[in-house]
Chain A
Amino acid sequence: MNYQFDFAWLATYWPVFVDGVLMTVRLIVIGGVVGIALGTFCAWARSLGPAWLKPAVVAYVELIRNTPFLIQLFFIFFGLPAAGFRLTEVEAATLAMVINLGAYSAEIIRAGIEATPKGQFEAGASLAMSPIQTFRHVVLIPALQKIWPALASQVVIVMLGSAVVSQIAVEDLTYAANFVQSRTFRAFEAYFISTAIYLGLAILLRFALLRLGHVIFPHKRAAR
Protein backbone atom coordinates (compact mmCIF):
# COMPACT_ATOMS: atom_id res chain seq x y z
CA MET A 1 0.00 0.00 0.00
CA ASN A 2 1.65 3.21 -1.13
CA TYR A 3 -1.07 5.61 -0.15
CA GLN A 4 -0.12 8.92 1.46
CA PHE A 5 -2.51 9.99 4.20
CA ASP A 6 -3.28 13.66 3.99
CA PHE A 7 -5.11 15.66 6.62
CA ALA A 8 -3.92 19.10 5.45
CA TRP A 9 -7.43 19.89 4.13
CA LEU A 10 -8.65 20.00 7.74
CA ALA A 11 -7.25 23.53 8.02
CA THR A 12 -9.80 24.70 5.45
CA TYR A 13 -12.71 22.40 6.13
CA TRP A 14 -12.91 22.05 9.89
CA PRO A 15 -15.88 24.48 10.20
CA VAL A 16 -17.93 22.08 8.05
CA PHE A 17 -17.45 19.42 10.70
CA VAL A 18 -18.37 21.84 13.47
CA ASP A 19 -21.66 22.64 11.73
CA GLY A 20 -22.26 18.94 11.21
CA VAL A 21 -21.67 18.18 14.88
CA LEU A 22 -24.05 20.96 15.91
CA MET A 23 -26.79 19.51 13.71
CA THR A 24 -26.23 15.98 15.03
CA VAL A 25 -26.33 17.29 18.61
CA ARG A 26 -29.45 19.34 17.91
CA LEU A 27 -31.22 16.30 16.45
CA ILE A 28 -30.40 14.02 19.37
CA VAL A 29 -31.31 16.61 22.00
CA ILE A 30 -34.77 17.26 20.54
CA GLY A 31 -35.24 13.66 19.45
CA GLY A 32 -34.06 12.42 22.84
CA VAL A 33 -36.33 14.61 24.96
CA VAL A 34 -39.47 14.20 22.85
CA GLY A 35 -38.72 10.53 22.14
CA ILE A 36 -38.42 9.68 25.83
CA ALA A 37 -41.62 11.61 26.53
CA LEU A 38 -43.40 9.59 23.83
CA GLY A 39 -41.86 6.40 25.17
CA THR A 40 -43.05 7.22 28.69
CA PHE A 41 -46.57 7.79 27.43
CA CYS A 42 -46.54 4.50 25.50
CA ALA A 43 -45.10 2.61 28.47
CA TRP A 44 -47.88 4.01 30.66
CA ALA A 45 -50.51 3.20 28.05
CA ARG A 46 -49.28 -0.34 27.65
CA SER A 47 -48.96 -1.29 31.31
CA LEU A 48 -51.55 0.92 33.04
CA GLY A 49 -53.59 2.60 30.32
CA PRO A 50 -57.09 1.92 29.00
CA ALA A 51 -57.62 -1.41 27.25
CA TRP A 52 -58.43 0.11 23.88
CA LEU A 53 -55.08 1.91 23.71
CA LYS A 54 -52.90 -1.15 24.33
CA PRO A 55 -53.16 -2.86 20.92
CA ALA A 56 -52.37 0.42 19.17
CA VAL A 57 -49.23 0.88 21.27
CA VAL A 58 -48.12 -2.73 20.77
CA ALA A 59 -48.56 -2.36 17.00
CA TYR A 60 -46.55 0.87 16.95
CA VAL A 61 -43.73 -0.51 19.07
CA GLU A 62 -43.43 -3.77 17.12
CA LEU A 63 -43.62 -2.06 13.73
CA ILE A 64 -40.81 0.34 14.59
CA ARG A 65 -38.59 -2.20 16.33
CA ASN A 66 -38.78 -4.58 13.40
CA THR A 67 -38.02 -2.22 10.52
CA PRO A 68 -34.81 -0.31 9.68
CA PHE A 69 -34.53 3.33 10.72
CA LEU A 70 -33.47 4.20 7.16
CA ILE A 71 -36.79 2.97 5.79
CA GLN A 72 -38.74 4.78 8.53
CA LEU A 73 -36.90 7.95 7.54
CA PHE A 74 -37.56 7.46 3.81
CA PHE A 75 -41.21 6.67 4.47
CA ILE A 76 -41.65 9.86 6.48
CA PHE A 77 -39.67 12.11 4.13
CA PHE A 78 -40.57 10.67 0.72
CA GLY A 79 -43.72 8.68 1.43
CA LEU A 80 -45.79 10.99 3.61
CA PRO A 81 -45.80 13.96 1.17
CA ALA A 82 -47.58 11.63 -1.27
CA ALA A 83 -50.26 11.36 1.42
CA GLY A 84 -50.34 15.14 1.78
CA PHE A 85 -48.04 15.48 4.80
CA ARG A 86 -44.99 17.53 3.82
CA LEU A 87 -42.01 18.09 6.11
CA THR A 88 -38.63 19.76 5.74
CA GLU A 89 -35.55 17.53 5.87
CA VAL A 90 -34.75 18.46 9.47
CA GLU A 91 -38.36 18.06 10.57
CA ALA A 92 -38.56 14.64 8.95
CA ALA A 93 -35.28 13.55 10.55
CA THR A 94 -36.39 14.78 13.98
CA LEU A 95 -39.78 13.10 13.66
CA ALA A 96 -38.17 9.83 12.56
CA MET A 97 -35.84 9.89 15.56
CA VAL A 98 -38.68 10.70 17.95
CA ILE A 99 -40.79 7.85 16.60
CA ASN A 100 -37.84 5.44 16.66
CA LEU A 101 -36.67 6.28 20.18
CA GLY A 102 -40.28 6.40 21.37
CA ALA A 103 -40.79 2.74 20.47
CA TYR A 104 -37.52 1.49 21.98
CA SER A 105 -37.77 3.56 25.14
CA ALA A 106 -41.40 2.47 25.61
CA GLU A 107 -40.22 -1.12 26.06
CA ILE A 108 -37.36 -0.09 28.37
CA ILE A 109 -39.54 2.16 30.55
CA ARG A 110 -42.31 -0.44 30.67
CA ALA A 111 -39.84 -2.87 32.25
CA GLY A 112 -39.17 -0.23 34.93
CA ILE A 113 -42.86 0.33 35.58
CA GLU A 114 -43.57 -3.38 35.81
CA ALA A 115 -40.75 -3.83 38.32
CA THR A 116 -42.54 -1.42 40.70
CA PRO A 117 -43.66 -3.20 43.88
CA LYS A 118 -47.44 -3.51 44.20
CA GLY A 119 -47.25 -1.80 47.59
CA GLN A 120 -46.24 1.50 45.94
CA PHE A 121 -49.47 1.56 43.91
CA GLU A 122 -51.47 0.65 47.02
CA ALA A 123 -49.78 3.30 49.15
CA GLY A 124 -50.63 5.92 46.53
CA ALA A 125 -54.23 4.71 46.33
CA SER A 126 -54.63 4.60 50.12
CA LEU A 127 -53.59 8.27 50.23
CA ALA A 128 -56.53 9.02 47.90
CA MET A 129 -54.33 9.66 44.87
CA SER A 130 -55.89 8.92 41.48
CA PRO A 131 -54.16 6.29 39.31
CA ILE A 132 -52.68 9.06 37.16
CA GLN A 133 -51.40 10.94 40.22
CA THR A 134 -49.92 7.73 41.61
CA PHE A 135 -48.17 7.08 38.29
CA ARG A 136 -46.88 10.61 37.99
CA HIS A 137 -45.70 11.15 41.57
CA VAL A 138 -45.01 7.69 42.96
CA VAL A 139 -44.26 5.19 40.18
CA LEU A 140 -42.56 7.09 37.37
CA ILE A 141 -39.38 8.47 38.93
CA PRO A 142 -38.18 5.24 40.61
CA ALA A 143 -39.10 3.34 37.42
CA LEU A 144 -37.01 5.69 35.28
CA GLN A 145 -34.19 5.53 37.79
CA LYS A 146 -34.12 1.74 37.57
CA ILE A 147 -33.78 1.66 33.78
CA TRP A 148 -31.81 4.88 33.26
CA PRO A 149 -28.53 3.21 32.13
CA ALA A 150 -30.42 1.16 29.52
CA LEU A 151 -32.26 4.28 28.37
CA ALA A 152 -28.97 6.19 28.10
CA SER A 153 -27.52 3.40 25.91
CA GLN A 154 -30.58 3.54 23.67
CA VAL A 155 -30.25 7.31 23.21
CA VAL A 156 -26.62 6.77 22.17
CA ILE A 157 -27.72 4.08 19.69
CA VAL A 158 -30.28 6.46 18.17
CA MET A 159 -27.63 9.21 17.93
CA LEU A 160 -25.30 6.84 16.05
CA GLY A 161 -28.21 5.69 13.89
CA SER A 162 -28.93 9.30 12.98
CA ALA A 163 -25.92 9.16 10.62
CA VAL A 164 -28.34 8.10 7.87
CA VAL A 165 -30.28 11.38 7.95
CA SER A 166 -27.55 12.66 5.61
CA GLN A 167 -29.36 10.55 3.01
CA ILE A 168 -32.23 13.05 2.96
CA ALA A 169 -29.72 15.94 2.86
CA VAL A 170 -29.86 16.90 6.52
CA GLU A 171 -26.51 18.61 7.10
CA ASP A 172 -25.30 16.50 9.99
CA LEU A 173 -21.86 15.12 10.77
CA THR A 174 -22.06 12.41 8.09
CA TYR A 175 -23.20 14.98 5.56
CA ALA A 176 -20.13 17.02 6.47
CA ALA A 177 -17.90 14.04 5.73
CA ASN A 178 -19.68 13.44 2.41
CA PHE A 179 -19.28 17.09 1.51
CA VAL A 180 -15.59 17.23 2.39
CA GLN A 181 -14.74 14.03 0.52
CA SER A 182 -16.52 15.29 -2.59
CA ARG A 183 -14.36 18.43 -2.49
CA THR A 184 -11.01 17.01 -1.45
CA PHE A 185 -11.28 13.42 -2.75
CA ARG A 186 -9.84 12.39 0.61
CA ALA A 187 -12.69 10.00 1.38
CA PHE A 188 -10.94 7.73 3.86
CA GLU A 189 -9.53 10.61 5.89
CA ALA A 190 -12.86 12.46 5.90
CA TYR A 191 -14.76 9.41 7.15
CA PHE A 192 -12.00 8.58 9.58
CA ILE A 193 -12.26 12.04 11.16
CA SER A 194 -16.06 11.94 11.34
CA THR A 195 -15.97 8.42 12.80
CA ALA A 196 -13.60 9.60 15.51
CA ILE A 197 -15.90 12.53 16.25
CA TYR A 198 -18.89 10.16 16.47
CA LEU A 199 -16.97 8.01 18.94
CA GLY A 200 -16.21 11.10 21.04
CA LEU A 201 -19.84 12.21 20.86
CA ALA A 202 -21.06 8.76 21.91
CA ILE A 203 -18.76 8.70 24.93
CA LEU A 204 -19.68 12.27 25.89
CA LEU A 205 -23.41 11.73 25.42
CA ARG A 206 -23.39 8.61 27.52
CA PHE A 207 -21.41 10.35 30.25
CA ALA A 208 -23.71 13.39 30.16
CA LEU A 209 -26.83 11.22 30.42
CA LEU A 210 -25.48 9.28 33.38
CA ARG A 211 -24.55 12.57 35.10
CA LEU A 212 -28.04 13.85 34.37
CA GLY A 213 -29.37 10.73 36.05
CA HIS A 214 -27.44 11.63 39.19
CA VAL A 215 -29.00 15.08 39.16
CA ILE A 216 -32.64 14.17 38.55
CA PHE A 217 -32.79 11.08 40.73
CA PRO A 218 -32.13 11.18 44.48
CA HIS A 219 -28.88 9.42 45.28
CA LYS A 220 -28.87 6.37 47.40
CA ARG A 221 -26.73 7.35 50.34
CA ALA A 222 -25.28 4.41 52.14
CA ALA A 223 -24.98 5.99 55.59
CA ARG A 224 -27.83 5.49 57.99
Chain B
Amino acid sequence: MTQFTLMDILRNLVFATQWTVILSLVSFIGGGLLGLLLLFMRIGKTRWLPPVVKLYTEVFQGTPLLMQLFLAFFGLGLFGIDVPPWLAAGIALILWTAAFLVEIWRGCVEAIPKGQWEASASLGMTYVEQMRHIILPQALKVAIPPTVGFSVQVVKGTALTSIIGFTELSKAGTVLTNATFQPFTVYGLVALIYFALCFPLSQVARILERKMNVAHRH
Protein backbone atom coordinates (compact mmCIF):
# COMPACT_ATOMS: atom_id res chain seq x y z
CA MET B 1 0.00 0.00 0.00
CA THR B 2 1.29 3.43 -0.89
CA GLN B 3 1.76 5.89 1.92
CA PHE B 4 0.29 9.35 1.34
CA THR B 5 2.09 12.26 2.86
CA LEU B 6 0.31 15.49 3.60
CA MET B 7 1.96 16.96 0.53
CA ASP B 8 0.64 14.13 -1.65
CA ILE B 9 -2.87 14.75 -0.42
CA LEU B 10 -2.59 18.47 -0.93
CA ARG B 11 -1.13 18.07 -4.43
CA ASN B 12 -4.01 15.81 -5.48
CA LEU B 13 -6.59 18.17 -4.03
CA VAL B 14 -5.11 21.24 -5.67
CA PHE B 15 -5.06 19.36 -8.98
CA ALA B 16 -8.77 18.58 -8.61
CA THR B 17 -9.47 22.18 -7.64
CA GLN B 18 -8.89 23.27 -11.23
CA TRP B 19 -12.07 21.40 -12.21
CA THR B 20 -13.99 23.17 -9.46
CA VAL B 21 -12.71 26.48 -10.80
CA ILE B 22 -13.47 25.63 -14.44
CA LEU B 23 -16.97 24.39 -13.64
CA SER B 24 -17.61 27.48 -11.50
CA LEU B 25 -16.54 29.79 -14.32
CA VAL B 26 -18.60 27.95 -16.92
CA SER B 27 -21.66 27.95 -14.66
CA PHE B 28 -21.28 31.58 -13.69
CA ILE B 29 -20.68 32.87 -17.21
CA GLY B 30 -23.26 30.57 -18.81
CA GLY B 31 -25.76 31.31 -16.05
CA GLY B 32 -25.05 35.01 -16.41
CA LEU B 33 -25.77 35.00 -20.14
CA LEU B 34 -28.93 32.95 -19.74
CA GLY B 35 -29.90 35.11 -16.77
CA LEU B 36 -29.54 38.24 -18.89
CA LEU B 37 -31.79 36.78 -21.56
CA LEU B 38 -34.34 35.79 -18.92
CA LEU B 39 -34.08 39.23 -17.33
CA PHE B 40 -35.20 40.92 -20.55
CA MET B 41 -38.05 38.44 -20.81
CA ARG B 42 -38.96 39.04 -17.17
CA ILE B 43 -39.02 42.85 -17.26
CA GLY B 44 -40.13 43.14 -20.86
CA LYS B 45 -43.47 44.36 -22.11
CA THR B 46 -44.95 41.04 -23.23
CA ARG B 47 -47.90 39.59 -21.34
CA TRP B 48 -46.97 35.94 -21.13
CA LEU B 49 -43.17 35.92 -20.84
CA PRO B 50 -42.82 37.44 -17.34
CA PRO B 51 -45.02 34.81 -15.62
CA VAL B 52 -43.16 32.03 -17.43
CA VAL B 53 -39.80 33.33 -16.22
CA LYS B 54 -41.24 33.84 -12.74
CA LEU B 55 -42.34 30.21 -12.68
CA TYR B 56 -38.89 29.17 -13.88
CA THR B 57 -37.12 31.04 -11.07
CA GLU B 58 -39.52 29.77 -8.43
CA VAL B 59 -39.08 26.16 -9.48
CA PHE B 60 -35.28 26.38 -9.57
CA GLN B 61 -35.08 28.34 -6.31
CA GLY B 62 -37.67 26.12 -4.63
CA THR B 63 -36.04 22.75 -5.32
CA PRO B 64 -32.69 21.30 -4.25
CA LEU B 65 -29.77 21.80 -6.61
CA LEU B 66 -28.98 18.12 -6.05
CA MET B 67 -32.38 17.15 -7.51
CA GLN B 68 -31.76 19.39 -10.50
CA LEU B 69 -28.44 17.63 -11.06
CA PHE B 70 -30.11 14.21 -10.87
CA LEU B 71 -32.87 15.28 -13.25
CA ALA B 72 -30.37 16.71 -15.73
CA PHE B 73 -28.28 13.57 -15.51
CA PHE B 74 -31.14 11.10 -15.90
CA GLY B 75 -33.32 13.39 -17.99
CA LEU B 76 -30.68 13.75 -20.71
CA GLY B 77 -30.29 10.01 -20.54
CA LEU B 78 -33.89 9.65 -21.67
CA PHE B 79 -32.83 10.89 -25.09
CA GLY B 80 -30.67 7.84 -25.36
CA ILE B 81 -27.44 9.77 -24.95
CA ASP B 82 -24.73 8.42 -22.69
CA VAL B 83 -24.50 11.53 -20.53
CA PRO B 84 -21.08 12.44 -19.20
CA PRO B 85 -21.28 13.91 -15.66
CA TRP B 86 -19.61 17.17 -16.73
CA LEU B 87 -22.40 17.85 -19.22
CA ALA B 88 -25.21 17.24 -16.73
CA ALA B 89 -23.32 19.25 -14.11
CA GLY B 90 -22.75 22.18 -16.46
CA ILE B 91 -26.34 22.29 -17.69
CA ALA B 92 -27.91 22.02 -14.24
CA LEU B 93 -25.58 24.63 -12.72
CA ILE B 94 -26.14 27.06 -15.59
CA LEU B 95 -29.94 26.76 -15.25
CA TRP B 96 -29.72 27.09 -11.46
CA THR B 97 -27.36 30.07 -11.55
CA ALA B 98 -29.52 31.86 -14.12
CA ALA B 99 -32.60 31.46 -11.90
CA PHE B 100 -30.90 33.24 -9.01
CA LEU B 101 -29.16 35.92 -11.05
CA VAL B 102 -32.32 36.93 -12.87
CA GLU B 103 -34.07 37.57 -9.53
CA ILE B 104 -31.09 39.51 -8.14
CA TRP B 105 -30.92 41.66 -11.26
CA ARG B 106 -34.66 42.22 -11.44
CA GLY B 107 -34.46 43.60 -7.90
CA CYS B 108 -31.73 46.00 -9.06
CA VAL B 109 -33.75 47.22 -12.05
CA GLU B 110 -36.80 47.73 -9.87
CA ALA B 111 -34.73 49.65 -7.33
CA ILE B 112 -34.24 52.42 -9.90
CA PRO B 113 -36.56 55.25 -8.83
CA LYS B 114 -39.71 55.74 -10.89
CA GLY B 115 -38.64 59.31 -11.59
CA GLN B 116 -35.84 58.01 -13.84
CA TRP B 117 -38.40 56.26 -16.04
CA GLU B 118 -40.64 59.31 -16.08
CA ALA B 119 -37.82 61.73 -16.80
CA SER B 120 -36.47 59.66 -19.68
CA ALA B 121 -39.98 59.10 -21.07
CA SER B 122 -40.60 62.83 -20.93
CA LEU B 123 -37.51 63.29 -23.10
CA GLY B 124 -39.20 61.18 -25.75
CA MET B 125 -37.11 58.02 -25.32
CA THR B 126 -38.53 54.67 -26.36
CA TYR B 127 -38.60 51.74 -23.96
CA VAL B 128 -35.43 50.27 -25.44
CA GLU B 129 -33.66 53.64 -25.30
CA GLN B 130 -34.72 54.12 -21.70
CA MET B 131 -33.32 50.70 -20.83
CA ARG B 132 -30.15 51.15 -22.82
CA HIS B 133 -29.19 54.66 -21.71
CA ILE B 134 -30.89 55.31 -18.38
CA ILE B 135 -32.03 52.24 -16.46
CA LEU B 136 -29.48 49.50 -17.17
CA PRO B 137 -26.35 51.62 -16.60
CA GLN B 138 -27.65 52.54 -13.14
CA ALA B 139 -28.92 49.04 -12.35
CA LEU B 140 -25.59 47.55 -13.38
CA LYS B 141 -23.78 49.51 -10.68
CA VAL B 142 -26.18 48.34 -7.98
CA ALA B 143 -26.04 44.77 -9.30
CA ILE B 144 -22.30 44.19 -9.04
CA PRO B 145 -21.96 43.53 -5.28
CA PRO B 146 -24.80 40.97 -4.98
CA THR B 147 -23.68 39.31 -8.23
CA VAL B 148 -20.14 38.87 -6.91
CA GLY B 149 -21.69 37.65 -3.66
CA PHE B 150 -23.69 35.02 -5.53
CA SER B 151 -20.56 33.69 -7.23
CA VAL B 152 -19.68 32.23 -3.81
CA GLN B 153 -22.90 30.19 -3.96
CA VAL B 154 -21.91 28.93 -7.41
CA VAL B 155 -18.48 27.75 -6.25
CA LYS B 156 -20.07 25.97 -3.29
CA GLY B 157 -22.79 24.60 -5.56
CA THR B 158 -20.22 22.81 -7.72
CA ALA B 159 -19.44 20.55 -4.74
CA LEU B 160 -22.75 18.74 -5.37
CA THR B 161 -21.63 17.63 -8.82
CA SER B 162 -19.36 15.11 -7.09
CA ILE B 163 -22.53 13.19 -6.25
CA ILE B 164 -23.34 12.56 -9.93
CA GLY B 165 -19.73 11.56 -10.50
CA PHE B 166 -17.98 14.69 -11.70
CA THR B 167 -14.43 14.64 -10.39
CA GLU B 168 -13.74 17.99 -8.79
CA LEU B 169 -12.48 19.02 -5.36
CA SER B 170 -15.17 17.29 -3.26
CA LYS B 171 -14.98 14.07 -5.26
CA ALA B 172 -11.20 14.10 -4.93
CA GLY B 173 -11.68 14.50 -1.18
CA THR B 174 -13.86 11.40 -1.03
CA VAL B 175 -11.45 9.38 -3.21
CA LEU B 176 -8.48 10.45 -1.11
CA THR B 177 -10.32 9.67 2.11
CA ASN B 178 -10.97 6.16 0.89
CA ALA B 179 -7.31 5.79 -0.08
CA THR B 180 -5.74 7.31 3.03
CA PHE B 181 -8.27 6.70 5.82
CA GLN B 182 -7.60 10.22 7.01
CA PRO B 183 -11.02 11.89 6.70
CA PHE B 184 -10.27 14.58 9.29
CA THR B 185 -7.19 15.81 7.43
CA VAL B 186 -8.58 15.39 3.93
CA TYR B 187 -11.97 17.04 4.49
CA GLY B 188 -10.30 19.70 6.61
CA LEU B 189 -8.01 20.53 3.69
CA VAL B 190 -10.90 20.40 1.22
CA ALA B 191 -12.81 22.88 3.38
CA LEU B 192 -9.77 25.18 3.55
CA ILE B 193 -9.36 25.12 -0.24
CA TYR B 194 -13.03 26.03 -0.72
CA PHE B 195 -12.56 28.77 1.86
CA ALA B 196 -9.54 30.07 -0.05
CA LEU B 197 -11.68 30.26 -3.21
CA CYS B 198 -14.81 31.74 -1.62
CA PHE B 199 -13.59 34.06 1.10
CA PRO B 200 -11.90 36.55 -1.27
CA LEU B 201 -15.10 36.70 -3.35
CA SER B 202 -17.17 37.31 -0.21
CA GLN B 203 -14.82 40.06 0.89
CA VAL B 204 -14.83 41.76 -2.51
CA ALA B 205 -18.64 41.66 -2.51
CA ARG B 206 -18.70 43.16 0.97
CA ILE B 207 -16.23 45.92 0.15
CA LEU B 208 -18.12 46.82 -3.05
CA GLU B 209 -21.37 46.95 -1.15
CA ARG B 210 -19.92 49.16 1.56
CA LYS B 211 -18.43 51.48 -1.05
CA MET B 212 -21.76 51.78 -2.79
CA ASN B 213 -23.64 52.49 0.44
CA VAL B 214 -21.18 55.26 1.25
CA ALA B 215 -21.54 56.69 -2.25
CA HIS B 216 -25.32 56.62 -1.88
CA ARG B 217 -25.31 58.45 1.41
CA HIS B 218 -23.46 61.49 0.03
B122-135 vs A, CB cutoff 8 Å, 1 = contact: the mask equals 00000000000000
B13 CB → nearest A CB, Å: 12
Closest residue on chain B to residue A76 by CB atoms:
B187
Number of interface residues of B (CB under 8 A): 40
- For the complex, is B115 an interface residue (Cβ under 8 Å from A)? no
Determine whether the beta carbon of A164 is less than 8 Å from that of B66: yes
Determine whether the beta carbon of A67 is less than 8 Å from that of B198: yes
| Chain A residues numbered 36-65 whose CB sits less than 8 Å from any CB in chain B | 62-63, 65
- For the complex, is A78 an interface residue (Cβ under 8 Å from B)? yes
Determine whether the beta carbon of B183 is less than 8 Å from that of A78: yes
| Chain B residues numbered 163-218 whose CB sits less than 8 Å from any CB in chain A | 163, 170, 173-174, 177, 182-184, 186-188, 190-191, 194-195, 198-199, 202
Which secondary structure dominates chain B's binding surface? Answer: helix
Partner of A71, one of B59, B80, B173, B199: B173
Closest residue on chain A to residue B159 by CB atoms:
A68
Q: In the complex the two chains form, what is the Cα distance from A194 to B186 in whole Å? A: 32
Q: Which residues of A contact B34 (CB under 8 A)?
A: none
Closest residue on chain B to residue A195 by CB atoms:
B67
- For the complex, is A127 an interface residue (Cβ under 8 Å from B)? no
A153-177 vs B, CB cutoff 8 Å, 1 = contact: the mask equals 0001000111110010000001001
Q: In the complex the two chains form, what is the Cα distance from A161 to B64 in whole Å? A: 6
Q: Which residues of A contact B80 (CB under 8 A)?
A: 1
Determine whether the beta carbon of B67 is less than 8 Å from that of A194: yes
Q: Which residues of A contact B102 (CB under 8 A)?
A: none
Closest residue on chain A to residue B192 by CB atoms:
A67
Q: In the complex the two chains form, what is the Cα distance from A79 to B78 in whole Å? A: 38
Q: In the complex the two chains form, what is the Cα distance from A83 to B187 in whole Å? A: 13
Q: In the complex the two chains form, what is the Cα distance from A89 to B217 in whole Å? A: 50
From A113-121, A129-137, A184-192, A213-221, give the one contacting chain B.
A184-192
- For the complex, is B106 an interface residue (Cβ under 8 Å from A)? no
Q: Which residues of A contact B71 (CB under 8 A)?
A: 188, 191-192, 195
* Known contacts A67-B195, A203-B62; is-contact A82 B183 (Cβ 8 Å): yes
Partner of A68, one of B74, B78, B170: B170
Partner of A74, one of B74, B173, B198, B202: B173
- For the complex, is B137 an interface residue (Cβ under 8 Å from A)? no
Q: Which of B65, B68, B183 has the most CB of A within 10 A?
A: B183
Given A71-B159, A78-B177, A161-B64, 14 more contacts at CB 8 Å?
Answer: A63-B191, A66-B198, A66-B199, A68-B156, A68-B159, A70-B163, A71-B191, A75-B188, A79-B186, A80-B184, A188-B71, A194-B67, A195-B71, A202-B62
Q: Chain B interface (Cβ within 8 Å of chain A)?
A: 59, 62-68, 70-71, 74-75, 77-80, 152, 156-157, 159-160, 162-163, 170, 173-174, 177, 182-184, 186-188, 190-191, 194-195, 198-199, 202
Q: Chain A interface (Cβ within 8 Å of chain B)?
A: 1, 3, 62-63, 65-72, 74-75, 78-83, 156, 160-164, 167, 174, 177, 181, 187-188, 191-192, 194-195, 198-199, 202-203
